Amino acid sequence: MSSSPNRLLATAFGAVYLVVGILGFTATAGVGFIDTSGGLLLGIFEVNILHNVAHLLIGAALVLAGTSNVAAARALNTSIGAVYLVLGIVGLFLVGSAANILAINAADNVLHFASAAVLLAVGLGAEKPVKARA
């Protein structure tokens, strides 16, 4: 696994997202499942229960892909990176609106864009198949 950037990244990001998902429940006491404003995780990231569940699902998927094989890790890094890029863009318009079912704030948007950049860079740029010369 350590020789594959995609597997290493998927496993590491997955573990972090699992921890964030679990810790998020400490900040959501009294917060509804899809409340548009949630509790603050680490005093900066706004989360509600749905947001925590999403972190747990993404973390579990990344860990499973990272511990399985390079193709799975690469595909999931790219897919989740693309989803986070879209979420970052959409999140810019969701903050403060009634449609903000993940209780996203500006700090979340920054983290989603950063995650997207790293996941997409490794997913799209590492371990490209080498074409044989004719």
Q: Per-domain residue ranges for the chain? A: 5-125
Q: What is the DSSP string of 32-63?
A: -TT-SS-EEETTTEEE-HHHHHHHHHHHHHHH
Q: Which pair of structure tokens corresponds to residue 109?
A: 């948007």
Per-position pLDDT tens, the chain of length 134: 568 999 999 999 999 999 999 999 999 988 989 888 889 999 999 999 999 999 999 999 999 999 999 999 999 999 999 999 999 999 999 999 999 999 999 999 999 999 999 999 999 998 766 555 65
- The whole-angstrom separation of Cα 53 and Cα 73 is 21
List Cβ<8 Å contacts ≥24 apart for 125-128.
126/4, 126/5, 126/6, 126/74, 127/4, 127/5, 127/6, 127/70, 127/74
Task: Say how many Å lie between the first and final Cα of the chain, rounded.
Answer: 31
